[in-house]
Amino acid sequence: MKLRLALWFLGVLLKRALRRKPRFIEQLEKMRGMDFGIATEDLSIARYYRMSPEGIQTDTGLPTDLDLELRFADAQSALAVLKKPTSKAFLDGMMQDKVRLVGDSADMTRLQKLLKHL
């Protein structure tokens, strides 16, 4: 339940940043948008985010056409990493097989740069 709430709240923060934060908007325009999703490996909890300078769409589930997917072993490991979303936390999670990145690692770097402006 906590992970579902955290993922929903991330969508709220992204939409708020698009309305209020000029650096966030500037970074998003440079990227020309980005689609990413966060889920547990068994897909029991999944949410996706479609971001563009025109708006942000978010919903449950995990479409197949996303640029980047972050898959976590379980809800507890997802919360642990997402509470402190540093490069080291993601790397440690990958080394311990608690985090799996589906997509290009360059997209992960772009996403981290964008999320700094929340």
User: Domains (ranges, CATH) in the chain?
Assistant: 2-115 (3.30.1050.10)
| Identity of residue 63 | P
**Each residue of 48-62: pLDDT tens digit?**
999 998 999 999 999
CA distance 50 to 48: 7
**Each residue of 4-32: pLDDT tens digit?**
999 999 999 999 999 999 999 999 999 88
| Stated pTM of the model | 0.90
Q: Is the pLDDT of residue 117 over 80?
A: yes
Cβ neighbours of residue 87 closer than 8 Å, sequence gap 6 or more = 112
**Each residue of 72-82: pLDDT tens digit?**
999 999 998 88
Report the residue count for the chain.
118
**Each residue of 90-101: pLDDT tens digit?**
888 889 999 999
- Burial label for 64, CB within 10 Å (0-12, 13-18, 19+), is exposed
